[in-house]
Amino acid sequence: MVTAFDAYDLGGTKLSNRIAMSPMTRNRAHGPGLSPTELNAEYYAQRAGAGLIITEGTQPSVSGQGYINTPGLHSEEQIAGWRKVTDAVHANGGVIFAQLMHTGRIGHPDTLPGDLHPVAPSAVAPGGQIVTDAGQQDMVAPKELTEAEITQIIADFAEAGRNAIAAGFDGVEIHGANGYLVHQFLSSNANLRTDGWGKDIQGKTRFAYEVAAALVEAIGANRVAIRISPGNQYNDIAEENIEELYTALLARLAPLNLAYLHVAESAGRELTTKLRAQWPGTFVLNPGTYPNPTGPDALALIEDGTTDLVAYGALFLANPDLPARLAAGGPFNTPDFSKAYGGDHTGYTDYPTLGA
């Protein structure tokens, strides 16, 4: 029987186990020009026992930043900062993919430099507020992207992929989940376009496909992955005909031979099972356990074939040596969510390992 603790061949990259660290926003890119620091390198290196680390959402361009103090992958300073992270993770035997996150309409003009304004498929403001340097503020109507701007963002993703490889990453994961730009294109309420980037399922799945295809051309299929969250309404997203939409998306993506498909389960196990059956390659599952963190019992999903890898978020935040703790049956540190987003080393690199 296959177990979570068996090695895995991810398109030629050897993973020491099948336990992944989910992408988690930590808002601590305090180096010059939103670049990662030694502290960020220490945080990821502590977690290198994961078979696969997926970084926090990283903006592929200046305009893709929605949250304060998130890192980017569009400048030399950022590449140099990430190099510290990838070197530290590799020195500890880990594998690390950078998550490329363009937040689209989830953002605020105050967080963007100069006159930049959040952008999206359509000029529809998301409900809700967002943290800015001046505190919580209502989100605003984004600027509707022109076709030329869409083409530019796709090129930005490809360039960020090249930068990720220059920074030493093993690959990149496109953030197609949780209400950010790629998901906005897939949606029925953030994408009201009547051109070839909206209108019907072919149009709505086009942006995700074109970003993936551009990245495959830039850095190779075995270094490109995508995360989706079918049915997730987070960040004020609504989708129609969810199964049809995602079945069409996977049919388009499958021939690209991506490194993996990562599903943040939001609409129940039945849909997950269908997507798993449809996807010809590696499947990574972040099981839907909200509001509880994904627990040790999720490892059974590898044994019964529901998924190839299981991704842990909150439990990895609080337990740097999570695979060892899972192997030992616990105990587990409890995440302190008051220190999840921003701050210093506390609640970041000071969670103890077993026996420490």
The contact set with ligand PHB (CB under 6 A) reads: 25, 57, 67, 177-178
Distance in Å, CB of 64 to ligand PHB, minimum: 12
Distance in Å, CB of 57 to ligand PHB, minimum: 5
Known catalytic residues are 180
Beta-bridged to residue 135, according to DSSP, are 132
Distance in Å, CB of 317 to ligand PHB, minimum: 12
- Enclosing H/E stretch for 99: strand 96-100
| Residue closest to 106 by CA, chosen among 152, 141, 79 | 141
CA atoms in the 13 A half-sphere facing the CB of 312? 30
Shorter beta-carbon distance to ligand PHB: residue 17 or 25: 25
Contact 97, 172 (CB under 8 A): yes
Helix (H, G, I), strand (E, B) or coil at 136: strand
| Single-letter code of the amino acid located at 58 | T
Shorter beta-carbon distance to ligand PHB: residue 129 or 334: 129
Shorter beta-carbon distance to ligand PHB: residue 25 or 187: 25
Distance in Å, CB of 65 to ligand PHB, minimum: 12
| Residue closest to 185 by CA, chosen among 152, 130, 145, 218 | 145
Contact 212, 226 (CB under 8 A): yes
Burial of 89 (0-12, 13-18, 19+ CB in 10 A): buried
How far apart CA 353 and CA 355 sit, in angstroms, is 6
Shorter beta-carbon distance to ligand PHB: residue 178 or 205: 178
